[in-house]
Amino acid sequence: MKADPVKLEIFKSLYSSVAEEMGVSLRRSAFSPNIKERRDYSCAVFNREGTLIAQGDHMPVHLGSMPMSVRAALESLELAPGDIAVLNDPYAGGTHLPDVTMVAAVYGSGQWPLFYVANRAHHADIGGATPGSMGRADEIYQEGLRIPPVKLMIGGQINQDVMRLISANVRLPEEREGDLTAQLGAIRTGETRLLEIVERYGFKEADDYARHLINYTAALMRRRIRDLPDGTYTAEDFLDDDGFSDQPVRIAVKITISGERATVDFTGSAPQVRGPINAVEAITVSAVYYVFRCLIPGDVPASWGIIEPINVIAPAGSVVNARPPAPVAGGNVETSQRIVDTVLLALAETGAAIPAASQGTMNNLTIGGIDPRSNRPFAYYETVAGGMGARPAADGIDGVHTHMTNSLNTPAEAMEYAYPMRVRRYAIRHGSGGRGLHRGGDGVVRELELLTEAQVTLLADRRKTRPYGLRGGEAGFAGRAQLISADGEQEIGSKQSLQATAGDRIRIETPGGGGYGRPDEG
């Protein structure tokens, strides 16, 4: 059946609205500030074959990788009506352990699934050696509870055995149960809305237009690739280190454009490392998905069609496709950013309108201890904004989350209410963006005072390397962090965990974006 353009647009909006409403449901019913305030979650809709149809405008690093979680769930489990799978295993379609995914089949009156729905949320703690589960580990077993695809809900009833198992292995069981329940509710929202679409249009038409949307997106992507000059384009960039060695970690890419297809080959990237910056294959595919989606102008349907004309080669055992038991907490948040930087740098050689490098890190900060107000454990997690890279026709944006993160900073009021901390300073780091015809966006300064003894962990990058400029633009400033105590200021390493006491302050200064064009061109 040939697609009607008007109906195609209608179904694009319908399916996208389902994912967006799932996100609203999850946000409003979540317990933790990380999900409720920072919106560190994602929701998506899949057709009856498990192919991505639509997703909300949530976290890019989640959305490009979630199809692999759905595939892993469907390969491991038979999802009957009322069943909901839960998983976080990075080696079974996940990203890193704090990202917990739920998957459910949507049934009508028949015996076969009509659709699948899924969501993913970053939990502020999932166990492991350090509060926040984002520490300097050298094997995945230190990073927290690893959940293969299992059923958290069976026949509409919560599987209390699985819920108890999860609760027994995390620092804040009530908060985890609250957030998991919010995810379950968001799944039900998605199921309800999809069945309403089927009731209105009939399943055949709804299913046909789901396939049309995927094919339409693939056609748009093929057309955009065809507009790029045929050829091979290479680039490399580096992560500062892995937290155990001072050696930089290479990300290398070779992009081959041939007609309406692209091959993105990461052969030559560093072997997987001891520290927690290894990325699994799902992360690498997700980063490529994001970059190529950005190449398409306008409001493109966010379906799996984007990746259909692209072949991603990520050698097994490398830092972009690690094998167990490599630790992976930072692969999701740091290596994903560097993969994006490297792919964009290669694509800049095609003549496409590519921005200079943004801050290139998520500045992951976790703080945990005992809250003296309640005498109960707390675990704070946040990523901190930085500078966006300058664009060919405009400056970069100051103090914004870029590329693989689309979250917010925790509001000061929410942070001080939820945690024994006080926000001492939150400001633009003026002058940290790279100079150029168009300047890079400035980073931020975020300073927190601890009101109790706590363990502080930083997992970040771009402390030794700097976000690159393009076309003669200067690099942005590198980031830094300090512990300010009665003994003075102590530099915090980019991948370090330390003990702090009440009255100590943590100051994070995030990188600026690179500049675009020579400064003297203006």
DSSP 316-344: TTBTTB--TT---HHIIIIIHHHHHHHHH
User: What residues pair up with 484 in beta bridges, in sequence order?
Assistant: 489, 505
* Mean pLDDT of all residues in 52-73: 83
pLDDT digits (tens, 9 = 90+) for 109-147: 989 999 999 999 999 999 999 999 999 999 999 999 999
Interhelix angle 66-76/281-295, nearest 10 degrees: 140
Cα separation, 353 vs 350, whole angstroms:
9
Residue 64: pLDDT over 90:
no
Average pLDDT over residues 230-243: 98
Omega within 30 of 0 (cis) for the link into 392: no
Give the pLDDT band (50/70/90) at residue 276. very high
H helices of 137-265, in order, are 160-167, 173-201, 203-227
Please provide the DSSP assignment of 473-514 as one string: PPPPPPPEEEEEETTEEEEPPTEEEEEE-TT-EEEEEPPPPP
Supply the pLDDT for residue 42: 92
Instruction: State the pLDDT confidence band at 407, using cuts at 50, 70 and 90.
Output: confident
Neighbour tally for 91: CB within 10 Å? 18
The 10s digit of each residue's pLDDT in 33-48 is 999 998 889 999 999 9
pLDDT at 43: 95
Between CA 185 and CA 28 the distance in angstroms is 10
Instruction: Give the list of residues 6+ apart from residue 196 with CB closer than 8 angstroms, or none.
Output: none
Query: Is residue 82 scored above 70 in pLDDT?
Result: yes
Q: How far is CA 472 from CA 106, 344, 349, 433, in A?
A: 53, 16, 14, 14
What's the confidence (pLDDT) of residue 56? 80
**Facing residues of 119 across strands?**
43, 102
Side chain identity, residue 398: D
Cβ atoms of 152 and 84 closer than 8 Å: yes
Strand (E) or helix (H) holding 454? strand 454-459
Report the SS3 class of residue 251: strand
Q: Please give the single-letter amino acid code of residue 251.
A: I
pLDDT at 361 over 90: yes
Condensed to tens digits (0 to 9), the pLDDT of residues 141-176 reads 999 999 999 999 999 999 999 999 999 999 999 999
At 298 the pLDDT is 79
Is 513 a residue whose pLDDT tops 80?
yes
Edge-to-edge strands, sheet with 249-258 = 231-239, 249-258, 261-265, 310-313
CB 325 within 8 A of CB 140: yes
Q: Count of CB atoms within 10 A of residue 55's CB?
A: 30
Contacts of 225 (CB under 8 A, 6+ apart): 257, 259, 260, 261, 262, 292, 309, 310
Taking every pair of Cα atoms in the chain, the longest distance, rounded to a whole number of angstroms, is: 73
- The alpha carbon dihedral of 150, 59, 339, 364 has a sign of negative
Edge-to-edge strands of the sheet including 421-429? 421-429, 443-450, 505-509, 480-485, 488-491
Distance, CA of 319 to CA of 439 (rounded, Å): 32
- Report the pLDDT value the prediction gives residue 406, as an integer from 0 to 100: 81
pLDDT at 108: 94
- Give SS3 for 208: helix
Over residues 451-460, the pLDDT tens digits come to: 999 999 999 9
Q: Looking at residue 431, what is its pLDDT?
A: 97
**Which tokens hold the place of 499?**
């003990």
**Arithmetic mean of pLDDT over the chain:** 95
